[in-house]
Amino acid sequence: MGRVPTFLDLLYDEAPLSDFDAHLARVERGLGGDAAAEVRAEYDVALRLRDLIARMRSREAELSALYETASDLTAIRDVDTILAAIVRRARQLLHCDMTYLSLNDEGDGASYMKVTDGALTQEFRTLRLPLGTGLLGLVAQTGAAYFTEDYARDERFLHQGYIDDAVAGEQIRAILGVPLVLDGVVIGALLAVHRSVRRFPQSEVSLLTSFAAHAVVALENARLFAELDEANRSLTRHTEAVDAAALAHDRLTDLLVGGGGVAEVADVLSGVLGGAVSIWTPSGELQAGEDGGVDWAGAVPTALASGRSVVVGSGLVAAAQAGSEHVATLVLRRDEPLDLAGRRTLERGALVTALVLLFARSVSDAEERLGGQLLVDLLEGDAADRSRLRDRVRRHGASVDGPVVVAAAAVDGVDRHRASRAVLGLARRLSGLAGEHRGAVVLVVPGDDPQRVGAELQSVVAASGGSATVGVATTTDALQDDRLARAHGEALRCLDTLVRLGRRGEVSDPAGLGVARLLLGDNDPEHVASFIDAAVGPVRDWDERRGTALLATLEAWFAAGGRLKETAAALHLHPNTVTQRLERVGELLGPGWREPARALDVQLALRLARLQRP
């Protein structure tokens, strides 16, 4: 026969209670008296040991589950995720119907429901309890654990109607609450709920309390990680903003060094700030970029007063100032709001715009002064300085070699200095010079079409808001002798004649005015000689070089009333010879010399030339 097991064997084998009772019955049947009493005592000890081992193993399982849960919680980095995990794991540990977690609100002295697991109603998920009210409010206020077997009948807690209604809606009976304590401060509470009346043994209170302590650590770690992540994101954003600002600074600096204009400033800022930048004059005219549709005008006074950018709808406005002078307005159109670094970049762009405009103004003023003085020296300088003047003209980027047009203009409807600046821009474009001299705006440019130059001068003056009356003349080899000065004098006389005739707003050269230039002008022998040169000078020069008599033929032709035979008879020439001479005259004077107005100028010049001869 095998050995009969003892109570100790049954303990080792984790036998059920029925095996213990059966063993006791077998042993007691064969014993009596004191021996039976000893066996009964051994039986009682074995049962107590069996219960103790069962409790220890249950506690070990709970602790194992607790530490495993705590370990899992520490791996979660998101605050909302860890809050949901806490209530879910607490419900699993205590095998209860519902768990929920509340956080204290220091602002209004209440504890509000943050997250639930197993809740049935929406009202309960959003419940707010004043501290000291209900079991939750009491735990959150005192920082001590509380539990009740049947909340609705427990008079230890301060009941309020809306709280009791929410509890009844969830069918809550038994509640266990433990505090969430961080650095000695109660930040909330963790609660476990049963929908039936029951007690909470001390082991469950201890388990939930321990879990709450681990949960607070995990929650604080998650919060710190969230702050760290936000700090990292903020640092990344700051780094990106610094990089963008550095890029903008470098590009704007390169633009200044390279002599860029406001259009380049608008392009750089548009690229760096991720929007559309436009630049406007103080009077509201678009200088660079495209109109983004931002209603910015009303924000300019604020931008000027503060020196900072101003938010206007979906845009930003920054004022470019040179001292106290408002020189331009920058407008940024952007779909997303701009951060502080971006706003500072726009304000830096406004400063660069002011520098660009001031630099352009300084260059323009310098060119105007230098160009104006050079023009005066050309018109009135000593002939001995011609070679030096030629070098100055070339360094200025102008040209007076070959045919040159001189224009003198009187302006109306606009300040003469402003008109002069506009004409200066035309001079730069045409490689010429411009300035104010002898009360007129003077333009000297290379070319052989005086009417076209006069029309262009009128156009730029009109663009500046005025009108111009222009006298023009031409010359060649402008730096030889005083040819440029004489051409300037001719242009001034043409201008004076136009004004005296009341023909304001027109353009004319000496040929266009003819004898009127002599009749209305303030003439001297030089002017008469100039008139003769303009009318018949090419014919006279031909006679002098070739020993011909074209001038005499012209005089005889006019004296005969333009009749060929009478002219030939007077000169004792064949009519064909007269015809050939008149054809040569036409080549020298150009087409139209026989027209009445032109013919009058030619006849007067011939008479004046004869009168000049002794």
Q: Which of 227-231, 274-278, 360-364, 510-514 has the lowest mean pLDDT?
A: 360-364
Do the domains 76-227 and 259-357 sit in the same CATH topology, yes or no? yes
> Contact 119/110 with Cβ under 8 angstroms?
no
Ramachandran region, residue 477 (left: φ > 0; alpha: ψ -120 to 50; beta: rest): left
For residues 600 and 606, give the distance between their C-alpha atoms in angstroms, rounded to a whole number: 10
Q: Is the pLDDT of residue 324 over 60?
A: yes
| CATH code, residues 76-227 | 3.30.450.40
For residues 265 and 609, give the distance between their C-alpha atoms in angstroms, rounded to a whole number: 64
Q: Give the CATH fold of the 381-514 domain.
A: Alpha-Beta Plaits (3.30.70)
Q: List 446's β-bridge partners, or say none.
A: 404
Q: How many CB atoms lie within 10 A of CB 44?
A: 11
Residue in 308, 334, 338 with CA at minimum distance from that of residue 237: 338
φ, ψ of residue 435 to 5 degrees: the values are: 175, -175
Residue in 129, 65, 136 with CA at minimum distance from that of residue 98: 136
Q: What is the pLDDT of residue 614?
A: 45
Q: Is the pLDDT of residue 331 over 50?
A: yes
Q: What is the DSSP letter of 6?
A: P
* Beta-sheet pairing, 185-194 with 128-130: unpaired
Q: Which of 92-101, 105-114, 344-353, 488-497 has the lowest mean pLDDT?
A: 105-114
Q: What is the pLDDT of residue 452?
A: 92
For residues 306 and 317, give the distance between their C-alpha atoms in angstroms, rounded to a whole number: 12
| Banded model confidence at residue 385, pLDDT cuts 50, 70, 90 | low
Residue in 450, 465, 364, 347 with CA at minimum distance from that of residue 414: 465
Q: What is the rounded (10 degree) CA torsion for 149, 151, 152, 157?
A: 130
Note the pLDDT tens digit of each residue in 134-186. 888 888 888 899 999 999 888 888 888 888 888 889 899 999 999 988 888 88
Q: Give the CATH fold of the 259-357 domain.
A: Beta-Lactamase (3.30.450)
For residues 277 and 365, give the distance between their C-alpha atoms in angstroms, rounded to a whole number: 28
φ, ψ of residue 587 to 5 degrees: the values are: -65, -35
Q: Is the pLDDT of residue 1 over 50?
A: no
> What stretches of 204-355 adopt beta strand conformation (E)?
276-280, 286-288, 310-312, 315-322, 325-333
Q: Which amino acid is at 367?
A: E
Q: Is the pLDDT of residue 5 over 70?
A: no
Cα→Cα distances 232→76, 227, 228, 415, Å: 18, 8, 6, 61
To the nearest whole number, what is the mean pLDDT of the chain? 79
Q: Across residues 323-350, what is the average pLDDT?
A: 83
Q: What is the pLDDT of residue 62?
A: 54
φ, ψ of residue 331 to 5 degrees: the values are: -125, 125
Residue in 603, 564, 601 with CA at minimum distance from that of residue 580: 564
For residues 414 and 431, give the distance between their C-alpha atoms in angstroms, rounded to a whole number: 25
| Banded model confidence at residue 371, pLDDT cuts 50, 70, 90 | low
Note the pLDDT tens digit of each residue in 9-34. 666 666 777 777 776 677 666 666 56
Q: What is the pLDDT of residue 175?
A: 92
> Contact 407/472 with Cβ under 8 angstroms?
yes
* Beta-sheet pairing, 507-508 with 467-475: parallel
Residue 281, classified by CB atoms within 10 Å of its CB into exposed (0-12), middle (13-18) or buried (19+), is middle
Q: Which carries the bigger pLDDT value, residue 417 or residue 46? A: 417
Q: What is the pLDDT of residue 299?
A: 83
Q: What is the rounded (10 degree) CA torsion for 182, 79, 192, 96?
A: -140
| Banded model confidence at residue 555, pLDDT cuts 50, 70, 90 | confident
Domain residue ranges in the chain:
7-62, 76-227, 259-357, 381-514, 537-612
Q: Name the CA radius of gyration of the chain, rounded.
A: 54
For residues 213 and 217, give the distance between their C-alpha atoms in angstroms, rounded to a whole number: 7
